[in-house]
Amino acid sequence: MPVSMPSKPQGKASRIERIEPFHVMALLARARQLEAEGRDIVHMEIGEPDFPTPQPIVEAGMEAIREGDVHYTPATGLPELREAISGFYQGHYGLELDPRRVIITPGASGALLLALGVLLERDEAVMMADPGYPCNRNFVTFLEGQTQSVPVSADEGYQLTPGQVSYHWRAHTRAVLLASPSNPTGTLIPETDLQKIIQLAQGKGGHVIVDEIYHGLVYGQRARTALSLSPDVFVINSFSKYFGMTGWRLGWMVVPEHYINDVDKLAQNLFLAAPTPAQHAAMAAFSAETMDILEQRKDEFQKRRDYLLPALRELGFKIAVEPKGAFYLYADCSQFTNDSYAFALDLLEKAGVAVTPGKDFGFNQPEKHLRFAYTTELSKLQEGVSRLGTYLNEVITKA
């Protein structure tokens, strides 16, 4: 007995209008459609490693499920996993870390929601670099906060500088959100800058949140965690990218001592807990066997970067600063177009190459930029570059 309703309620919270979808999704859908029609597409748009989850992690996950370890864990996560992560900081960064400060979260997304949830008052602002990961500003919007997007350029390695943080700081600024390595630019924040920004923000009673989810994928150098500079930063990390566990949805956050109980309380209410099979699987993430696999993959990512960076430059894309980490290249395509979104669509249709348009990363000249992800094997990257070359020759010839 369907009821005839006097009115169809269709109102939406105003935040919905301020939150953007991932524009690349439309492009990805079109790519899938072309593939269904038999076209071969080179995927350089996907922010997910092409490698499978390492076998030891797979086996630990299967074993947990077989043994029935699929009940709720504490909201902050399995104590033994928190300890394993603390041990990882000790072994990898030489950092002593109270395991109680490690909060297991449903992905880095869950971590950011918790961090902002405990820190951000309505209408307070979070400062972040533009271009940047789009979800970051949407989390702030979701919580009725404001985003202070500061345009950054290749000149400062696409990272906020202490001078910018100081210049843009306002009374309502609550936190600075940094990502090192950054998505989409792959750049690191220099340690001296990071230290100054931490001092600056904390001196104003504010906070620093550092996204280190690509920290495992830094090439040719070893990055230090922000935690080695201050015990009062919030550091977000994840099993998704370096550890190859994207779909398992597991991350972690290291919080200042003072916030443990509040983050726990919020996690209880928002999530109950992170997925249990994933937590047990991740217990195998730090074993020597897994680490060997992961370091080999890192080398492979580095090889891809070392191929793709000069190859794109050769084609005429401007990549002024060498990315040191993650698996992205953020390329200026203004030599070819003043509309990178239309350009990306055209690339897909005519060259069979999928890339992510700049507009997914903010409002700082997005029309001039594309993000290339090297999350596909070298031979495919080569094929992609070859197709790009052919396409650009035609475009340039016609123009």
Tell which positions 181-200 bind its own copies, by CB under 8 A: 195, 198-199
Q: What values do phi and psi take at 253, rounded to 5?
A: -140, 135
CA-closest candidate to residue 20, choices 362, 371, 364, 344: 362
Residues whose CB is less than 8 angstroms from the CB of residue 21 and which lie 6 or more positions away in sequence, other chains included: none
Instruction: Report if residue 135 touches its own copies, rule: CB under 8 A.
Output: yes
Instruction: Report if residue 229 touches its own copies, rule: CB under 8 A.
Output: yes
- 173-179/125-130 β-pairing: parallel
Q: Which of these ranges, 203-211, 314-322, 328-336, 347-355, lies near its own copies under the rule CB under 8 A?
A: 203-211
Instruction: Report if residue 96 touches its own copies, rule: CB under 8 A.
Output: no
d(CA 386, CA 374): 15
CA-closest candidate to residue 315, choices 374, 375, 395, 378: 395
| Structure token digits, residue 113 | 């929601």
d(CA 274, CA 77): 7
**Subset of 310-369 contacting its own copies (CB under 8 A):** none
Instruction: Report if residue 260 touches its own copies, rule: CB under 8 A.
Output: no
Instruction: Report if residue 398 touches its own copies, rule: CB under 8 A.
Output: no
d(CA 223, CA 190): 9
Instruction: Report if residue 166 touches its own copies, rule: CB under 8 A.
Output: no
d(CA 392, CA 398): 10
Instruction: Report if residue 26 touches its own copies, rule: CB under 8 A.
Output: no
Interacting residue with its own copies among 88, 139, 169, 372 (CB under 8 A): 139
Q: Which is nearer to its own copies, 230 or 334 (CB)?
A: 230
Interacting residue with its own copies among 87, 220, 247, 310 (CB under 8 A): 247
In whole angstroms, how close is the CB of 119 to its own copies at the nearest point?
6
Residues binding its own copies: number (CB under 8 A): 90
d(CA 174, CA 267): 21
Instruction: Report if residue 302 touches its own copies, rule: CB under 8 A.
Output: no
In whole angstroms, how close is the CB of 22 to its own copies at the nearest point?
5
**Subset of 54-93 contacting its own copies (CB under 8 A):** 58, 61-62, 65-66, 68-73
